[in-house]
Amino acid sequence: MLDPPLAPFLIDPEISKAETPPAAFYSDARWFRQIRDSVFGRGWHCIGLSRGLEAPRAVRPVTLLPGVLDEELVLVRGDDGTLRLLSNVCTHRGMLVVEEAGTCDALRCRYHGRRFSLDGCFRSMPKFESVEGFPTERDDLRSLPVVERNGMVFGSLDPDVEFDAWFAPVTERLAGIDLGTLTGHPERHHDYEFEANWMLYLDNYLEGFHIPFIHPELAAAIPMTEYQTELLPSGTLQIAGAHEDDATAFAPVGDHPEAGRAIAAWYFWLFPATLINVYPWGISLNMVEPLAPTRTRVRFRSLVGHPHLLGSGAAADLHQIELEDEAAVIATQRGLLGSIYQRGRYSPPEEFGVHHFHRLLLERCAIVG
């Protein structure tokens, strides 16, 4: 039996008139599939850090968004120094080609011996001498878009926006900012899983409205009267000012947009689900991964440039902040699973980043009014 059609809804472009998405948006498997197909397959995603991939012939298998896209890929550093993102699925029978990180001078499927060069081109295959019209381009491993920035690696199956345009707000804000030599710190990497929809997690991230209520220590570390949100074509930027006596804060100068201000953090959300939080000690990269309609994984990866600044300011205890956020979105998910709540309203001065997120989502799903 076919699923009944989704009940369409609109989000008014004027936030003062708009209603938030209906409760079912955050739990219905049909919406989950619709967004998977319309959004995640066309977006840029961080697929990890470049640490360990610096040397020629380094390889690392990656799964792009397990539970959503489930694309098996492999990062390969060629002899020419170029980092490539290739399909990790053998073009013979579909076996994984690279099964663990390491180094190699060619890619070889251990199932039947098909070999590929480090750029993914077919090289050889036993017992195929009599196959007609072989090989063709279909026998190469497909190459996908991949970009390295600030120690992070980004890839996409079929991007609907150029990477430089998508990442431009980060590039522009960090111009002239001393982040030191950013290095991945595995001891500070953490993965979190919890029972709530990934969009609820982003709804929470995209506004500072909740900070005084949910994060008392963070609220004390930054002056909330100076908290700002800027809308970006493919995301948002939240700017957390610092107290005047915070000696660890950023102090941008020149023609920087925040010149003359003390800045505790810049929080970037890049559509659909990449969070780049910039602190005086470095970058906390948060990769939001939908696992199911009401289950989410968030991978925290730390790139540290100034270790002596760790544990200070707005990022004094990221683990505690994460647990406080998770508790809020888990409780919200429980509330939305009932039958009483239907739709809410937005606070125009506080939740326009959330409104922007919802509009972008529905735009990609082609149902925005």
Beta strands of 242-332 (E only): which ranges?
A: 263-270, 274-279, 282-292, 295-304
Residue 75 located in a structural domain: yes
Tokens of 229: 């949100």
Q: How many domains does the chain have?
A: 2
Sequence-separated (6 or more) residues with CB below 8 Å from residue 234: 161, 165, 166, 270, 271, 360
pLDDT for the residue numbered 109: 98
Boundary (domain end) residue, out of 105, 127, 149: 149
pLDDT for the residue numbered 6: 73
Residue 254 located in a structural domain: yes
- Which secondary structure element, helix H or strand E, spans residue 235, and what is its range? strand 235-241
Looking at the structure, tell me whether residues 320 and 266 fall in a common domain. yes
Tokens of 166: 């998508």
pLDDT for the residue numbered 3: 64
Which amino acid appears at position 89 of this protein?
V
Supply the CATH number for residue 83's domain: 2.102.10.10
Residue 38 located in a structural domain: no
Looking at the structure, tell me whether residues 96 and 168 fall in a common domain. no
Please state, as a whole number, how many other Cβ atoms lie within 10 Å of the Cβ of residue 141. Answer: 25
Tokens of 304: 């540290």
* Segments forming the whole domain that contains residue 111: 49-149
Which amino acid appears at position 118 of this protein?
L
Beta strands of 271-327 (E only): which ranges?
A: 274-279, 282-292, 295-304
Q: Which parts of the chain register pLDDT below 50?
A: 368-369
Which amino acid appears at position 297 of this protein?
R
pLDDT in tens, 83-114: 999 999 999 999 999 999 999 999 999 999 99
Looking at the structure, tell me whether residues 299 and 330 fall in a common domain. yes
The torsion angle over the Cα atoms of residues 22, 26, 29 and 35, rounded to 10 degrees, is 90
Boundary (domain end) residue, out of 118, 149, 180: 149
Looking at the structure, tell me whether residues 233 and 324 fall in a common domain. yes
Alpha-carbon distance of 27 to 24, in angstroms, equals: 5
Looking at the structure, tell me whether residues 293 and 236 fall in a common domain. yes
pLDDT for the residue numbered 316: 86
Alpha-carbon distance of 141 to 138, in angstroms, equals: 8
